[in-house]
Structure 1
């Protein structure tokens, strides 16, 4: 017969832990009744209580190594009892105390609880196995869970011992690396301090503790049994003394896999609604067939040799058996007919808990390992002797080679195997705890952490099936140091506080942020601009003077109207070409002036519409050349008038200059100079279409880049020079005695012309986009209209309305 020994801490104090014993009994019973596993071999077990005391643990461990009443190391008097393996209990520190002794004897020790991070089991504890996954996966799961829900401001609670210290030292840097801040790290005192000194502790330390944890919405707890027992006792006693009788701190509790939601019998009045919506990690488990039925037939007198059952029964049902030695008033008598399924889940569960499932797998792992050894040896013995004999004896150290490589499917359908570090090759489930007012609860699997899964599936969670605490109205809680910085704002660190605490500053002008909680704003692309809220970029509008907009239509109307009027004036002059008023002051120059004005009005249309590679060079050069012809005609007419009057004096030498040759020479020379300037401009740096994205914030100015600003102002400067010379000459000849003398009209027209183009420069430079183009079109139309009106309106008045004044007598009259 083979024996396995079990150490269970505080089995009597917490009734729920008794399920671990029942899981052990159930698994051994199943194996012994299964002819396919260890045929002709029965498994047995001893249970020792450590009372979470190191001295008691060492004493009980030594008892495992001897079979006599006295502890005599390395001596066994009962050879029929063969201890194969030790299954360690819930407390990690106790398990490690045992491992230090059992490792000397190479006795396999299988722990079924989550332990604090230890060094490599392979190097330091070669005889130590854990039927639980590596705890590093749980830390990764906690970080993933917080990141998934965007919880960046959390508190950490752990016990005031080495395990709690390791938990904080391991988890805190991981949170920091992933942008999660800890509002505090709080340690719970030992349970003895709470029970022995609860009056002073509750009023001072407990108040301070619960005030501290009230700062956050999410609390990460290293949920070792002693930590949770202390925490619940503090809450229970604090609420009792405070008069509220209920623990009303509402938050999301994130528990590690050590938690099993168990209450001591004295805490049965504790309102478990405080943990409604809690999330916890748990070793992956499944429903074990037959276990619930096994529990339903339990009776206090049923299992012989189980001294824990009666203790459990009395504490769980708050009653005493009639033959009990305890004398307590006001307690009911236990009938033995009480039903386990009537107990609240915090005291006892009918389904196998995570720890019980791990213990169940531990027993089966040992059984399958023994079975392999027996089958292998029996096979060799049958081959050697021709028949099978009694099962051979197996020493504990011989189990290691098989246990390390064991892999089997349990009755729940899960694969059980150890990795290279002697830990279960599995993951963690994420459990959502839904509590009810009648002290019952439901465990809902809402996610999984599995290091063996493919990339992208290591962490999964179903947020839609999670039930949050009723205080949150079924809305995912926010766990932030302060509210989010929404798009349009950037985070600015608060001095003296963790990096998760920040102020929200609006983005500077011209910059945006399009995500929450960005550290810096950024500029849009050149062809985009920020919207009003500065949370997205909008494409800029193309800015150019179109034909269809009101301003463009107005200019088209004016240009065509002035062109039509110019054409009518030209027609009138051609029709009355033989009259004295037309023939005076050089009829050909008059025609040339009218034609150039006609073209000037039309060339303004080149400035409308989207600039192109053809229109850009043509705009300024056509305007410059045509206007130079118009001003040259005026200059020639003015000089002709002056020379004509000078030539009338007796003996004047100016007669040889009077005539069409001089006028044509002046016109041609002025035209050629301007044409040369324009040709040089086009050959060196011609105007081209350009997209100006910086001048106006919300618009892209589609414009004609002048290419060479110097050449542009040379063209304008030459026109100004011709206009000023014409103005000076006309001004000198304004009082010459002739009814048809144009000098005074030319003087006024040149005054208007120069005024318009002098005001053009500051107006042109102070505007942008299409309004800059509008200023130039307006200057072209206004100056052309000024020339047309000032010079030709008096003549048209005479020709059309006062034809009697259009005679040679008036032409030769002297005043």
Structure 2
């Protein structure tokens, strides 16, 4: 029984459906706010309201329609611009002759949800369609293209919905760079440049004025978030830091806006980049005015910077001096008059028109629900010329022009598809995908001379004006164009500023400064502050020997080895070459001492030569005495080779001459010492020693000892000779010009050989020190050798530890001291007797105490 009943019910249902098969649109029908029939219908979506009432759905009943609030005159202006373009095309005999364009324009209140709803209405229509057996519920789309929406986020949602249907959506003010992604939004086009260019232009503008420490505020939607993300990326590349980056939406609760105000107050940056649309800027200015937050330099996006309505709201002059990017100004003949002609708007829905008229003229119709006794009654014949509000303001003419170009782009695509010449081919079946393809390829000029075309991303060429808010005497803000930005030019020429005076925050003529840290001057380098952005740093002075010659250098460059940093550490200067010269006091004194010793030796030689026949001169082999005086002269003179700039010959000469002359000198002294000993031993009975050490043997001994030193010097010069050397290690800021020893073994061999002879001479003289005075000079030789050895023993540590030219001075001093010691100890006592005690210079006196006593 049950199966029979079920079959009966199914039969009844199927019969009733067969009788009433219809296609019904789900949801409530949406009526367009502006409507006109035509051969081809163009859709329009604008925000006639800027906000809506928030509600919480209980899911217990069907949600109520969105209740829009805050009438937005800008939406009406955009709609009027679209109607103006359509009327102009319909009246044209050149474009689409014989074809009339109609329109359906909807209000989406700036809401994403409502935008999707009215988009589906434009695509499907509200009519009930009877189903056909072959193609149930199918029909052509209602519109061939849609102009709008104003904001980026609704455009993204709308494009996502209509993308699969290939219905073109041409926006006049949606600038989010994300909409250039043709994989996600294949049917989206726009007549305003992408924020890809605007964000970079804003970063370049900020960098141009030297602002490296900024705050940023953005609309919390796709326009603000994507635009600020691109700005942040570019700013980092340009060395710009953001102290804070906050976002809000106009429907956010008041406490969130208050947090933003608190952040601004607590910040140290004086420049604020505002990537906001004009509706959110309205809210922000209202809050800023409450707290009287002046003194900040605002940098604005095209969403609000050229909006005179925003400027009119700024009664506290918070935004004075603001600078930013705007769409280039344009004048479209007849558009202003058409927009201000409100008659076409009277065809809108009754409620919307009443609200528009009452808000426009600040009056109330008698039948209006919101009428009060405090407002005058609307007559419907009010004169618009007496009204000054945002609807009569034409500061956004460039944006109206973008709407105008969008409509003309659709018309030119239709013109090409319909093969219009004098007439159009009405038999062509229009398809939105076909129109989309032709719109992408169009390239035409408007009557104002502007070229209209789209690149592969559906974007136009990116050109902006740089405008500056300059308040006038009557309190009205003048938007002064102070520069241009053209993304089609080379990178270094894209941003150009005109030679115009700019007004900055608080009407200042000086460019504001907004940096976390002052610039590091040349001579310093930047050191980042821990835990802070790269724009916050300390400036440390470059170390000695390092420089930085640019501002904000991150490193210091080390000077070459022959250069040193100057006092300011911003340039490398050639190091001072230091050597013992004749011009300085120490060099002059040593030179004088050397010459004095030479003269004194010559004077002694002269005395000895004059008294060469006297016993005291002849007593100890006068030839050795003259040879000793000659060698002492050479010793005094060889010290001069140590003074002056070292050269190859002077380096080789100074040490070899010193070594050979001193050996010659010590050899002579050694010979004299041996003569004293031999002379005493020869007086003893049976001694025959003097015949083995006569004058010839004495000369040969001197020659032999000296020859050994000559051989040592030749080997030294042959294997590894001394050479000029620049010593960079001794002093950081000086170059020590010195003679490198070449082979240290050679140097110490020369010095050691001199020391060996000196010690031998000292020992022999010490043995003969107690011989009778008149027979010898052994004790004077002992004393002179004692001085000689003491000088050269102390020379070694002094030479090693003395820096630079002082080591040379120590060596010269040792040469002079030992030479003077020999000269004074050996010859001065004899000169004293020769000159002052001539009575003692007799053979009898010399022999008086010299005879040995018999044992």
Bin for the TM-score computed over the shorter chain? 0.7 to 0.9
Following TM superposition, by how much is the alpha carbon of 1:594 offset from its aligned partner in structure 2, in angstroms?
1.4
Counterpart of 2:506 in structure 1 is 470
Counterpart of 2:336 in structure 1 is 295
- Alignment of structure 1 residues 143-162 onto 2, 5 Å: 143-161=203-221
Give me the CA root mean square deviation: 3.9
Which of 222, 228, 251 pairs up with 2:281?
A: 228
Larger Rg over CA atoms: 2
Q: Does 1:218 align with 2:277?
A: no
Q: Is the 2:528–2:534 contact (alpha carbons within 8 Å) kept by the matching residues of 1?
A: yes
Which of 184, 191, 199 pairs up with 2:250?
A: 191
Shifted more, 400-409 versus 509-518: the winner is 509-518
- Alignment of structure 1 residues 782-797 onto 2, 5 Å: 782-797=817-832
Q: Is the 2:326–2:466 contact (alpha carbons within 8 Å) kept by the matching residues of 1?
A: yes
Following TM superposition, by how much is the alpha carbon of 1:474 offset from its aligned partner in structure 2, in angstroms?
1.2
Distance 2:276 2:765 in 1: 105
Q: Is the 1:50–1:56 contact (alpha carbons within 8 Å) kept by the matching residues of 2?
A: yes
Counterpart of 1:106 in structure 2 is 166
Q: Does 1:621 align with 2:656?
A: yes
Following TM superposition, by how much is the alpha carbon of 1:677 offset from its aligned partner in structure 2, in angstroms?
1.4
Counterpart of 1:611 in structure 2 is 646
Measured at CA, do residues 471 and 484 of structure 1 come closer, stay the same or move farther in structure 2, by a change above 3 Å? farther
3-state DSSP of counterpart to 2:178? coil
Distance 1:114 1:532 in 2: 58
Counterpart of 2:295 in structure 1 is 250
Following TM superposition, by how much is the alpha carbon of 1:272 offset from its aligned partner in structure 2, in angstroms?
6.0
Ranges in structure 2 where 5+ consecutive residues have no aligned partner: 1-37, 50-69, 851-855
Q: Is the 1:286–1:414 contact (alpha carbons within 8 Å) kept by the matching residues of 2?
A: no
3-state DSSP of counterpart to 1:271? coil
Distance 2:541 2:196 in 1: 41
Distance 2:251 2:682 in 1: 133
Counterpart of 2:62 in structure 1 is none
Following TM superposition, by how much is the alpha carbon of 1:568 offset from its aligned partner in structure 2, in angstroms?
2.9
1:36-55 deviation per Cα after TM superposition (whole angstroms, max 9, x unaligned): 54455555544322112345
Counterpart of 2:109 in structure 1 is 51
3-state DSSP of counterpart to 1:184? strand
3-state DSSP of counterpart to 2:689? helix
Which of 382, 398, 401 pairs up with 2:434?
A: 398
Which of 625, 631, 640 pairs up with 2:666?
A: 631
Aligned pair count? 782
Which of 399, 403, 425 pairs up with 1:355?
A: 399
Distance 1:568 1:347 in 2: 118
Following TM superposition, by how much is the alpha carbon of 1:27 offset from its aligned partner in structure 2, in angstroms?
4.3
Counterpart of 2:694 in structure 1 is 659
Q: Does 1:723 align with 2:758?
A: yes
Q: Is the 2:484–2:496 contact (alpha carbons within 8 Å) kept by the matching residues of 1?
A: yes
Distance 2:136 2:464 in 1: 42
Measured at CA, do residues 572 and 221 of structure 1 come closer, stay the same or move farther in structure 2, by a change above 3 Å? same
1:376-428 deviation per Cα after TM superposition (whole angstroms, max 9, x unaligned): 3548x8xxxxxx88897755443223211122333444432111121113344
Distance 2:451 2:72 in 1: 30
Following TM superposition, by how much is the alpha carbon of 1:645 offset from its aligned partner in structure 2, in angstroms?
1.4
1:335-377 deviation per Cα after TM superposition (whole angstroms, max 9, x unaligned): 636478x76xx88654554423422332333333334445x35
Q: Does 1:441 align with 2:477?
A: yes
Shifted more, 536-545 versus 322-331: the winner is 322-331
Following TM superposition, by how much is the alpha carbon of 1:800 offset from its aligned partner in structure 2, in angstroms?
3.5
Shifted more, 388-397 versus 164-173: the winner is 388-397
3-state DSSP of counterpart to 2:192? coil
Counterpart of 2:515 in structure 1 is 479
3-state DSSP of counterpart to 1:123? coil
1:200-251 deviation per Cα after TM superposition (whole angstroms, max 9, x unaligned): 667x546535445x34323333213443233223324x33xxxxxxx32432
- Alignment of structure 1 residues 441-520 onto 2, 5 Å: 441-460=477-496, 466-470=502-506, 474-480=510-516, 482-520=517-555
1:429-463 deviation per Cα after TM superposition (whole angstroms, max 9, x unaligned): 44433345744333344555544323533455569
Following TM superposition, by how much is the alpha carbon of 1:589 offset from its aligned partner in structure 2, in angstroms?
1.1
Q: Is the 1:644–1:658 contact (alpha carbons within 8 Å) kept by the matching residues of 2?
A: no
Counterpart of 2:721 in structure 1 is 686
The two structures have a TM-score, normalised by structure 2, of 0.81
Which of 730, 751, 764 pairs up with 1:695?
A: 730
Q: Is the 1:378–1:389 contact (alpha carbons within 8 Å) kept by the matching residues of 2?
A: no
Following TM superposition, by how much is the alpha carbon of 1:760 offset from its aligned partner in structure 2, in angstroms?
1.7
1:70-126 deviation per Cα after TM superposition (whole angstroms, max 9, x unaligned): 7999999999x9844311121222223333444354332101113434365433333
Following TM superposition, by how much is the alpha carbon of 1:470 offset from its aligned partner in structure 2, in angstroms?
3.1
Distance 1:62 1:705 in 2: 95
Following TM superposition, by how much is the alpha carbon of 1:281 offset from its aligned partner in structure 2, in angstroms?
3.0
Measured at CA, do residues 694 and 18 of structure 1 come closer, stay the same or move farther in structure 2, by a change above 3 Å? farther
Shifted more, 703-712 versus 251-260: the winner is 251-260
Following TM superposition, by how much is the alpha carbon of 1:534 offset from its aligned partner in structure 2, in angstroms?
3.8
Distance 1:354 1:485 in 2: 43
Distance 1:537 1:471 in 2: 45
Q: Does 1:425 align with 2:461?
A: yes
Measured at CA, do residues 332 and 635 of structure 1 come closer, stay the same or move farther in structure 2, by a change above 3 Å? farther
Distance 2:339 2:77 in 1: 12
Counterpart of 1:336 in structure 2 is 383
Q: Is the 2:122–2:142 contact (alpha carbons within 8 Å) kept by the matching residues of 1?
A: no
Distance 2:629 2:139 in 1: 137
